[in-house]
Amino acid sequence: MTRIDAKFAELKAAGKKAFVSYVMAGDPDYDLSLELVKGLPAAGVDIIELGLPFTDPMADGPTIQLAGQRALDVGMTLEKTLQLAAEFRKEDDTTPIVLMGYYNPIYNRGVETFLTDAKAAGIDGLIVVDLPPEEDEELCIPAQKAGLNFIRLATPTTDDKRLPTVLQNTSGFVYYVSVTGITGAAEAQAGDVGPEVARIKSATDLPVIVGFGINTPEKAQNIASISDGAVVGSAIVSKMAESQSVPDTLAFVKSLADGAHKG
């Protein structure tokens, strides 16, 4: 059982929904990023999604693209991202960390070396958005063998014919993308998302977490009420960029987490 599996078991026993927060590693710099990540569990975050900066993202909207660029500009790398996770693990051995990014930096490092290093740093799961199920032998299967969850995205365009393929080697949870398009570009609507979540849940025992288009405590509550939890990314990244204040950002995160936990 991974930390992700244990967290969902704990939440289920407590009758609570999950709140997942996304932050970009190294934005606006290493030290502030680490301070923010360290503060997330006390702000109510159940699972931390840690963005791996990359030059050519394809699913990220302008907010997260700019965050990645800021991180790259101050010298953030895959190695430093894993170092940040390892620093966090010195104080917290229970909160799951999901590394979210693209395959190129992992391929460049070498899959076997990366998985060894990620496991040692305390990473629990991977979301690699540019590796479809047809490429599972490349990273997904080795990651599962190494004890890391491989989390797959399902979208409004994932029809009943495609869904079993998407779910085949997925573990930890299913990340349902609530809107067609990029992060931060549109608002999630519970009325639209609910039937899709139900459709996915009828095909898997895994928790279904909903992300994209959630930016207020009310929306987090609404989305969590029809799923197993909510992910917020762009709104948190924006708050940090605007305020340059870790305490202010964590206060905002807590409001979102409180909303999701009421769902």
pTM across the whole model: 0.96
For the ranges 55-59, 89-93, 198-202, 227-231, the lowest mean pLDDT is seen at 55-59
Judge whether 60 counts as a catalytic residue: yes
CA–CA separation, 148 vs 108, rounded Å?
19
Determine contact, residues 120/90, Cβ cutoff 8 Å. Answer: no
Q: Of 5, 27, 46, 49, which one is the catalytic site residue?
A: 49
CB-hemisphere CA count at 13 Å for 73? Answer: 9
Which of 75-84, 101-110, 185-194, 199-208 bottoms out in mean pLDDT, i.e. has the lowest?
A: 185-194
**Which is the catalytic residue, given 5, 46, 60, 136?**
60
- 49 assigned to active site: yes
**pLDDT at 183 (0 to 100):** 58
- In tens, the pLDDT along 214-239 reads 999 999 999 999 999 999 999 999 99
